[in-house]
Amino acid sequence: MRPSILNPLFADVTALPGVGPKLGKLIEKAAGPHVADLALTLPINLIDRSARPKIADALIGQIATMEVLVDRHEPSQGRRPYRVICSDESGFMTLVFFHARADFLLRALPDGEHRIISGKVEDFNGARQMTHPDHMVDPESSADLPLFEPVYPLTAGLSSAVMRKSIAAAISRMPDLPEWQDRAWLQNHQWEPWLHAFKSAHQPQSLAEVSPLAPARQRLAYDELLANQLALALIRRTRVRAAGRPIKGDGRLCAKVKSALPFDLTGAQKSALKEIFDDMAAPDRMVRLLQGDVGSGKTVVALYAMLNTVETGGQACLMAPTEILARQHLETLAPLCAQAGIEIEILTGRDKAGQRAAKLERLADGNIDILLGTHAIFQETVKFHDLACVVVDEQHRFGVHQRLALADKGPRPDMLVMTATPIPRTLALTAYGDMEVSVISEKPPGRKPVDTRTIPIERLDEIIAAVKRAAAKGEQIYWVCPLVEESEILSLTAAEDRYAALKEQFQDRVGLVHGRMSSVEKDAVMEAFHDGRLSVLIATTVIEVGVNAPNATVMVVEHAECFGLAQLHQLRGRVGRSELPAVCILLYKGPLGETAKARLQILRETQDGFRIAEEDLRLRGAGDLLGAAQSGFPQFRLADLSVHSELLAAARDDARLIIERDADLASDRGKALRTLLYLFGRDDAVKLLRAG
């Protein structure tokens, strides 16, 4: 059960004073549905109202707070706004109001009275003015005017004042929680206790205190990272306690496949395989992440792991995020399995009832050695004879719960998780900290680098002409757009518009695929492209993981400046899978900002996915990285992985020590740590403790 001390924080935001259902929806969009979400939303900027100049000394474009005498009101006339003329001994200031309510302004700014006003000073025809001052208060109430005002993230329809008031109400509900950090660690870093740090972070007195490196912010970031790492450590401990079984094949099937392969394994593949085989031979369950760039040969490594299992009489399965990807794995693996004389089968949502029943019967009898499939494998009707090894492809497309559900299909099977998304080490620790990691860092020999070019969108006609020439030679082209349909807000090329334009050139040789289509529709178009029936595939990023078309030699990405580096690298990896030279054209709309320029330059300089991922994290921060919003990656509110990577490493070490000394979190600190886990929504980890 969640500690009762936290209950006020997990009430709906509408429990706060002045927050009704309509406002609640806007606040939920900006911060989240619970009071805790609001309380854990920190300021992103600061308004400094400490400058108190005379009117004549106020700097144009700066925020100033000054005491003025209200001289006269000039009500709106026609299109002219409402104006209030004010002065002090140094000069005059005009306050300007659009769509003003005269009765309100006459009460707020009575003629002949002094008022303190605060807002941005502007110049209008050589005279000073202030449009819609942020504050207008009686000098006797000047203590109510904040010198420093935090700025919080907003959404359309939600004002700063309302957000500040709601967050203040949420902060007032934060209880003084028992300390979960090690006292010596806090003293060493000169960090305040939790509640002091929390309130300090919400009441910055300078821009330096809004920085992620401010002591209060570092303390809170560490709390959040410790919750993340402790939860992963508890998951890992549960797995270790649930012992697996040693799997050590005799190598006969692996030898048959090796003789059938047209190439030798790279050094990196051999090294990854050694780590995997060592894990499988151990009595504990293997839970390992296999990270490798697009085209680095992960599938072959996974096949050896599955063969190792089959050699001992067990079964293996490989789960892919899409049906077309599962079928492509079948195309790759079936000839090799035939060579080794083992039964491989695929199970998808498309199987007819009779066909499916027959497959399930063979699977339950142990007559299928390796099963490939999609989410269909999760279903209760799917029973294995002896599932001993599970391979999950493109892990970030699946949540932790899904991979755990698959692991329940056998008596604690070994698990190998693969991803072609290069993940920076810091981000990998937060998502896969419960796993060991193997990296395939080199590509098979003969793979040519993809020629990457950045071209302004104004040269679109030249690109279309080049695409026509490539199609005429029988080559295939991907064309990626950032949106599905035209947006009034963003002037980016929509996939549907580009499809309509290129349809005139390519008729029925052009296809369109995007995330709003059903999986059956998407698969049909992707299959047509894979089979060579289409020359051009126009798509949103759904093709980033999926189609393997060896004939595809051109990747065009429109508005490349809108994509993340890792995402562009993934897209580039869709071409250059044959002997033919391949090109990736990044179309951009200028002028580019410094970050966008740097990102496109890195792509031209290197094909190393891991360097690209680290640069992406450095340039954009973790929140925007590919997959950070998807189920496999946690999203952090208080921690910024591009800044707090050292704190993450410390949190990992701390979590390990905690588990070694107090695995059930039964000590006083352990009980406080349980509260920390609940505060940051890591309830699942606490449930593992309760389950023993």
Does residue 626 carry a pLDDT above 50? no
How far out from the chain centre does Cα 293 lie? 19
Q: Is the pLDDT of residue 136 over 70?
A: yes
Q: Can you state the angle between helices 323-340 and 298-311, rounded to 10 degrees?
A: 50
> 9-30 burial by CB neighbour count: b if 16+ within 10 A, else e?
bbeebbebeebeeebbebbbeb
Q: What is the per-residue pLDDT for 322? A: 80
Cβ-based neighbours of 22, under 8 Å, separated by 6 or more: none
3-state secondary structure 127-188: EEEEECCCEEECHHHHHHCCCEEEECCCCCCCCHHHHHHHHHHHHHCCCCCCCCCCHHHHHH
Residue 625 has pLDDT above 50, yes or no: no
CA dist 41 and 79 (Å) reads 40
Pick 40 or 642 by higher pLDDT: 40
pLDDT at 265 over 60: yes
Examine the pLDDT at 239 and tell me if it is beyond 90: no
Q: In the predicted model, is pLDDT for residue 630 greater than 70?
A: no
- pLDDT tier, 543 (very low <50, low <70, confident <90, very high otherwise): low
Vertex 645 angle, CA 625 and 188, to 5°:
155
pLDDT number for residue 692: 38
Residue the block writes with tokens 């359309």:
156
Residue 144 pLDDT exceeds 70:
yes
- Whether residue 492 is predicted with pLDDT greater than 60 in this model: the reply is no
Question: Is pLDDT of 612 > 90?
Answer: no
In this model, does residue 75 exceed pLDDT 80?
yes
Residue type, 574: R
In this model, does residue 652 exceed pLDDT 60?
Answer: yes
Q: Given pLDDT bands bounded at 50, 70 and 90, which one contains residue 371?
A: very high
Is the predicted pLDDT of residue 631 greater than 50, yes or no?
A: no
Look-up of token digits 């209060």: 216
State residue 225's pLDDT score: 95
Instruction: Give the residue-averaged pLDDT of 459-483.
Output: 90
Q: How confident is the prediction for the chain on average, in pLDDT?
A: 87
Strand residues in 457-596 grouped as ranges (E): 476-480, 510-513, 536-539, 552-557, 583-588
Contacts of 501 (CB under 8 A, 6+ apart): none
User: Side-chain half-sphere of 688: how many Cα atoms within 13 Å?
Assistant: 24
67-96 average pLDDT score: 95
Residue 629 and residue 431: Cα distance in Å, rounded?
A: 12
Per-residue pLDDT band for 252 (boundaries 50, 70, 90) equals very high
pLDDT at 488: 53
Mean pLDDT of 117-143: 93
Flag whether pLDDT at 74 surpasses 90: yes
Bigger pLDDT: 295 or 92?
92
The three-class DSSP label of residue 659 is helix
Domains and CATH numbers, the chain: 4-46+152-210 (no CATH), 50-145 (2.40.50.140), 252-440 (3.40.50.300), 451-606 (3.40.50.300)
CA 682/CA 676 separation, integer angstroms? 8
pLDDT score at 621 = 57
| Confidence band of 333 (pLDDT split at 50, 70, 90) | very high
Is the pLDDT at 285 greater than 80, yes or no? yes
Lowest mean pLDDT of 194-198, 398-402, 573-577, name the range.
398-402
Query: CA 423, CA 440: separation in Å to the nearest integer?
Result: 12
Q: Do 479 and 541 contact (CB within 8 A), yes or no?
A: no
- So what's the pLDDT on residue 446? 66
Comparing CA positions, the residue from 610, 630, 565, 526 lying closest to residue 294 is 610
Nearest to 202, CA basis, from 39, 6, 409: 39
Instruction: Select the more confidently predicted residue: 332 or 540.
Output: 332
Kindly write down the DSSP assignment for every residue of 387-422, as one continuous string.
EEEEEESSGGGS-HHHHHHHHTTSSS-EEEEEE-S-
The neighbour count for residue 624, using CB atoms within 10 Å, is 14
In this model, does residue 460 exceed pLDDT 80? yes
pLDDT value at residue 375: 78
What pLDDT does 62 receive?
A: 93
Classify 96 as helix, strand or coil. Answer: strand
Cα 525 to Cα 427, 478, 511, distances in angstroms: 34, 13, 6
The answer to whether the CB of 581 falls within 8 A of the CB of 502 is no
Task: State the Cα–Cα distance between residues 681 and 34, nearest whole angstrom.
Answer: 11
CB 505 within 8 A of CB 479: no
Q: How confident is the model at residue 628 (pLDDT cuts 50, 70, 90)?
A: very low
Q: CB–CB of 681/673 below 8 Å?
A: no
400 or 514: whose pLDDT is higher? Answer: 514
- Say which range, 149-153, 163-167, 500-504, has the weakest mean pLDDT: 500-504
pLDDT of residue 632: 46
Task: Give the DSSP H or E segment for 224.
Answer: helix 215-241
433 or 150: which leads in pLDDT: 150
Q: So what's the pLDDT on residue 404?
A: 59
- Residue 690 clears pLDDT 60, i.e. is over it: no
Q: Is residue 627 very low, low, confident or very high in pLDDT (cuts 50, 70, 90)?
A: very low
| pLDDT of amino acid 22 | 94
Look at residue 645 in the predicted model and tell me its pLDDT.
Answer: 85
pLDDT at site 530: 84
